[in-house]
Amino acid sequence: MKKYFIIAIIIALFITGCQAGSAPPADSSQEGNTDMHEDNSAPDLVSGLVKDQYAGLDFSVNVLERMAILPGNPFQATVLVENNGDKTVSYVQGSGTFETPEALFIYSELMQRVKPSDQLGINTMDFVTKELKPGESLQLKLNVLAIEPNPDFDLYTFELHDEGTYITDVDWADLKDRFPSLVALAPGSYTLNAYFFYSVPDENGDIDPFGGPTGYAKASTIIGIS
């Protein structure tokens, strides 16, 4: 339990410090954007893990915005994990109060991921792992801001949360005025990457609850900033 708890903490700290599968789907928001910004980077934590270790796991990320995404504006990325195979996989949920698993996250060197609101504030110190059984799926919406990654962004997020405001609810002009170091993205097309870390059972059908993730899935999509 101690080892797995440390791994979860490392994942959380890594995602905080760095900001920030399937083929990218067609996206109408790309129209009119000829400046393509590709992000082929990967988090260091994938080292030692097997990409697509479990073939029965389908993972996708999509941005279904009806309105144009403007520089500095927030948007939501819908991530979907589907277990279409015959094995049960496990993943780190983190604190029992979390609704968003720590094992599922956006990673980008091009734009700013936003810490889920359920992971802010006071959380219980328990450590939870969950299972995704054959036929089950997991769908969540993750928040992103159309700004350049900022090393102090999570600090700003906590600061506003302490004041009773979630950072994506603040207009860009007001956010920029409050935190001048934030920089809006230039118009264009950008790659957005999502990751899911998981463990698969061994030859005996067992999963080591203290062994940490063994595999990962990556999904990408293209978004347009206009």
Domains in the chain, please, with CATH? 2-225 (2.60.40.10)
User: Is it the case that residue 2 has pLDDT exceeding 70?
Assistant: no
Q: Work out the average pLDDT over 66-86.
A: 92
Q: Per the confidence metrics, is the pTM higher than 0.85?
A: no
User: Is it the case that residue 13 has pLDDT exceeding 80?
Assistant: no
Which pLDDT score is estimated for 131? 92
Q: How far is CA 151 from CA 19, 38, 111, 115, 156, in A?
A: 6, 21, 12, 13, 10
User: Is it the case that residue 37 has pLDDT exceeding 90?
Assistant: no
Higher local confidence (pLDDT), 42 or 31:
42
Tell me the percentage of the chain whose pLDDT exceeds 90: 57
Under DSSP, is residue 60 helix (H, G, I), strand (E, B) or coil?
strand
- Distance of alpha carbon 19 from the chain centroid: 11
Cα–Cα distance between 138 and 80 in angstroms, integer?
A: 6
User: Is it the case that residue 41 has pLDDT exceeding 60?
Assistant: yes
**Model confidence pLDDT, tens digit, residues 144-170:** 999 999 999 999 999 999 999 999 999
Q: How far is CA 157 from CA 154, 164, 184, in A?
A: 5, 11, 16
**Model confidence pLDDT, tens digit, residues 93-114:** 877 677 889 899 998 889 999 9
Which pLDDT score is estimated for 22? 37
Which pLDDT score is estimated for 173? 97
User: Is it the case that residue 86 has pLDDT exceeding 70?
Assistant: yes
Question: Model confidence at 119, in pLDDT bands (50, 70, 90)?
Answer: confident
Find the range with the poorest average confidence among 30-34, 52-56, 119-123, 209-213.
30-34
Cα–Cα distance between 50 and 48 in angstroms, integer?
A: 7
Higher local confidence (pLDDT), 32 or 169:
169
Higher local confidence (pLDDT), 44 or 29:
44
Higher local confidence (pLDDT), 34 or 118:
118
